[in-house]
Amino acid sequence: MFKEAIALDSDFGLAYCYFGFCHFADAMYGWSKSQPKSWQRALELAQKALSLDDSQSHSYDLISKIYLFQETHVKAIANAEQAVELSPNLAETVFNWGWILRCAGRPEEGIPLLEKAIRLDPIPHFIRIDSLGRAYFLSGRYEEAIAAYRKAVDVNPDYLDAHVGLASTYAIFGREEEARTEVAEILRIEPSFSIKNMRN
């Protein structure tokens, strides 16, 4: 469909951007035959979108995500920041910057952005709530992490990452019974679970 949109209007920047998101998803989820080629194609399409219209935050969002997964954190942060400058009240854009800061080892800076993204979205996605929990956890704010993880589980009881976060946080506190309960939930959801497969 995005190819068709580009064929109808070759100057429509957002079509290139969202076409790039398709290649990004292929690379991120392992659907692509060649992950490096999918990253490169996504980046090319995002840059094409910006060459046509540099006022859209979505293209900067896409570029920031690509650089994050390629572990080029300085460029990822810079592009995420640029996206927020263009769309300061767009929940997804604000969340993305906070998420990237957290993944880049700067969770304290990411917390206010993740909190803002949740305020901007009247029905925040459980992944956003979980990401805030992780930022709290990495910042040593364990009680707040538990509260965030619990909210994420309330929204989606089968969300594995939130249960992993709860198990880890309870274990740090020495709350073994609660930690074991969460481990049981993890194995219920994914019997072959391995901590090695956890992502950012």
* CB 167, CB 150: distance < 8 Å: no
Alpha-carbon distance 84 to 16, whole Å?
20
* Helical pair 13-28 and 35-52, crossing angle rounded to 10 deg: 160
| pLDDT at residue 122 in the model | 84
Confidence category of residue 197, pLDDT binned at 50, 70, 90: low
Average pLDDT over residues 79-90: 97
Per-residue pLDDT tens over the stretch 35-72? 999 999 999 999 999 999 999 999 999 999 999 999 99
* Helical pair 57-69 and 35-52, crossing angle rounded to 10 deg: 160
pTM greater than 0.85: yes
| pLDDT at residue 199 in the model | 56
For residue 193, give every residue at least 6 positions away whose Cβ sits within 8 Å of its Cβ, in sequence order, or none. Answer: 160, 186, 187
Which structure tokens are listed for 200?
Answer: 């950012």
